[in-house]
Amino acid sequence: MDVGTASVPQIRGVSEGVLIAWRRLSRRTSFLSRELGLELFYVPDRPPYLKAAWRTLTFLRSRNPGVVFTQLPQGPLLAEVAVISRGTGFKVVADVHTGFIYPTSLKEYILNKPFHTYLHKVDLVLAHNKLQTSLIQEKANISSEKIMIVYDPIPQIPQNTKAPKLNNVDISKSIVFPASWALDEPLDFIVAEFLESDTASDHTLIITGNWRRNKKLYRKLTELSEKKGARNKIALTGYVQDDEYYHILKSCKAVIAVSKREYTLPHALWEAIAVEKPFITLETETMITEVGRDYPCFFTMSSGSLRKTLEACLDERYLDAREVARSKAAELKLRSRNSIESLRKTLTEMQISTTL
């Protein structure tokens, strides 16, 4: 199917609310819709989004919702919903993913910059972290009163999971990289650093995610591991079902949660927090601001940095790193829950004002 809708229970949710996503459905969006009790409408269309625009118009006319969330960076989605809202009166919430406000290529700039002005026409703008809030204010000239930080909901890890079929891999001695195979993930750098580290002597690097999104990079990684004579040290799983994926997360030794893109908190960070595992992460200003400079498992993109971090956090000081990670997990879990509760309260007030 190229259009997906999902009704979720309205327990403590937003009455008559929907969340709309085009092109690609993020895990944050799925979890946020479930957390808030929003109906989810997803159209995996591509630019110029003609099919998506028509189906979204038809969907909104049939639902007549009270609140509509838009998953950005799809600027045309934001523009369409903002324009439709003028005639119908529903409230609009823009969930600003980093690519919308912080383009890193000419293509992203062309696709997103013209739609920044529509952020002025929505009722609420959601940012994902503190630095992104400042960026939205700067780039789109949006007042701080209109922006709310809402961290990713913490994934609910099921108690019963299913062990995946990974040949000759001891998951208890593995590091997992939940990859989206996007350009902001330095997969080749991480694989090269891992294979050069002492950690690779008795650990396996498991890389999940649909590698078919980047076949060129997949070939590069397999060639690199073959060249090093360490093909059994890198496990490229491809897409795995949730019950198998969560089993890997629960059973692994640590999680690599990385994005080279500034103003981004990788969703893998929240998954590591959910299972209270040490997370190996890139030392960006965003991560330092949110996690704290005292966290022991940061690395940089300089040669040898990740090797040293892996060896320290997984071998020499693993017990210390695990305790710090658990402390950070408790802190960030609370921050996530509080931000979602604040959003619920704000949405309730918005809906009340609509009925007055």
- pLDDT at position 10 is 40
Joined together, the tokens standing for residue 106 give: 């000419």
Q: Is pLDDT above 90 for 105?
A: no
- Position 354 scores a pLDDT of 60
Residues 289 and 131 sit within 8 Å (Cβ to Cβ):
yes
Q: Confirm if 149 and 124 have CB atoms less than 8 A apart.
A: no
Question: Is residue 174 predicted with pLDDT exceeding 60?
Answer: yes
pLDDT at 9 > cutoff 80 = no
Q: Read off the pLDDT of each residue in 46-66 and give the average, rounded to a whole number.
A: 95
pLDDT tens digits, 306-338: 999 999 999 878 899 999 999 999 999 999 999
pLDDT attached to residue 15: 58
**Residue with the larger pLDDT of the pair 19 and 14:** 19
pTM surpassing 0.75? yes
Q: Could you read off the pLDDT of 18-32 as tens digits, one per residue?
A: 999 999 999 999 999
Q: Which domains does the chain have, with CATH numbers?
A: 4-150 (3.40.50.2000), 171-333 (3.40.50.2000)
Tokens of 318: 């693993």
- Mean pLDDT (whole number) for 170-185: 94
The pLDDT of residue 7: 40
Q: How many helices (H) and strands (E) does the chain have?
A: 13, 13
Greater confidence (7 vs 295) lies with: 295
- What residue spans of 64-129 are helical by DSSP H? 75-88, 98-101, 106-112
Residues 57-88 have pLDDT tens digits of 999 999 889 999 999 999 999 999 999 999 89
Per-residue pLDDT tens digits for 186-218: 999 999 999 999 999 999 999 999 999 999 999
Average pLDDT, the chain: 92
pLDDT value for 252? 96
Write down the pLDDT at residue 1: 32
CA-CA-CA-CA torsion sign (32, 38, 39, 45): negative
